[in-house]
Amino acid sequence: MRSPKVLLCAMAVTACSGTEGDILRSMGDASLPEASLPEASPTDAPLADTRPDAAPPRPKPEPLTTWQIQLSGTLDTTIDVRVYTADIETPLSVIRGLHNAGRIVICYFSAGTMENFRDDASRFPPESLGSPLPSYPNERWVDVRHATVRSIMQDRLTKAARSECDGVHPSGLSAFNASTGLDFSRADQVDYNRWFASASHALGLSIGLVEGDASLGQDLVADFDWTVVWSCLSSNCPAAAPFIAAKKAALLIEYGDQSRTAEVCPKAKDLGLSAIIKRNANLDAFRAGCP
């Protein structure tokens, strides 16, 4: 298992996380007291979409960059890194604040499942939904061949662009390996992933492949801009190799605490990986970084 389950983050929501297969996922936290939510501000209103059909590319992660991923708890925007990954529901004012501090902002959502807390959950037609995830029965796999699924995901990408995200971190792009209850093939998955990358690039967004599948990475390295790999340093992170060879950013998450930096950082740098150490799969604000 390389990717954790997550709950919504940023300033307006809280989260916790766990793992299941190769998919990140988020869910809302109904226990958050209303009084702790920030009041709406004019800067949180999305801008009108004035992007042309082929928008100029936004900044993207570069090899051996510094970065942070936080998908639970109140987003800590004070960490001195070049790249932040946060949920797509992060308020626009927070994203603008990160930009003003010189950060690249990558926005997370699931591209392989229906997340029942998202405001577009009711748009998925019944025939586009597959099996519930065993540990999370309120979340279901989606059929990557279905036109409405792609329309929903296109709208999410448009939302990311309007929210001034620089790129997207869509999980669930290797669902063909899972027990989805759907009959799409690896070839269908590759077609969907390439469509996703093309749609992202048309909006000026970079896109990362985060599935930890070396074969899939080899097929898609020309289409994706960077990759994220998980807990693989002991095996030299083979899924990152196609991206490193292509001189694209490869972001590594290992688990532990500050004491692991002496072990993780030199080896990661030798392999061409941008490594961070997170306390656990909650992906909260804790981060031990490499220079």
Q: If you average pLDDT over residues 44-48, what whole number do you get?
A: 48
Q: What percent of the chain has pLDDT over 70?
A: 81
pLDDT, position 72: 92
Distance CA 70, CA 30 (A): 19
> Is the per-residue pLDDT at 10 higher than 50?
no
pLDDT, position 53: 59
Q: What contacts 168, CB < 8 A, 6 or more positions away?
A: 88, 106, 107, 108, 109, 157, 160, 200, 205, 206, 207, 208
Distance CA 75, CA 220 (A): 31
Distance CA 241, CA 225 (A): 13
What value does the mean pLDDT of the chain take? Answer: 85
Q: If you average pLDDT over residues 214-236, what whole number do you get?
A: 96
Lookup: tokens for 146: 């279905």
pLDDT, position 55: 87
In tens, the pLDDT along 160-174 reads 999 999 999 999 999
Q: If you average pLDDT over residues 133-152, what whole number do you get?
A: 93
Which of 36, 34, 3, 35 lies closest to 19 in space, CA to CA?
3
Distance CA 50, CA 143 (A): 31
Contact 71, 27 (CB under 8 A): no
Distance CA 26, CA 16 (A): 9
> Which domains does the chain carry?
4-25+55-61+71-222 (3.20.20.70)
pLDDT, position 283: 95
In tens, the pLDDT along 232-275 reads 999 999 999 999 999 999 999 999 999 999 999 999 999 999 99
> Is the per-residue pLDDT at 5 higher than 50?
no
In tens, the pLDDT along 58-112 reads 999 999 999 999 999 999 999 999 999 999 999 999 999 999 999 999 999 999 9
Beta bridge partners of 254: 277
Lookup: tokens for 225: 């801009």
Q: Please report which confidence band the pLDDT of residue 48 belongs to, taking 50, 70 and 90 as the band edges.
A: very low
Q: If you average pLDDT over residues 202-210, what whole number do you get?
A: 97
Contact 104, 167 (CB under 8 A): yes
pTM score: 0.84
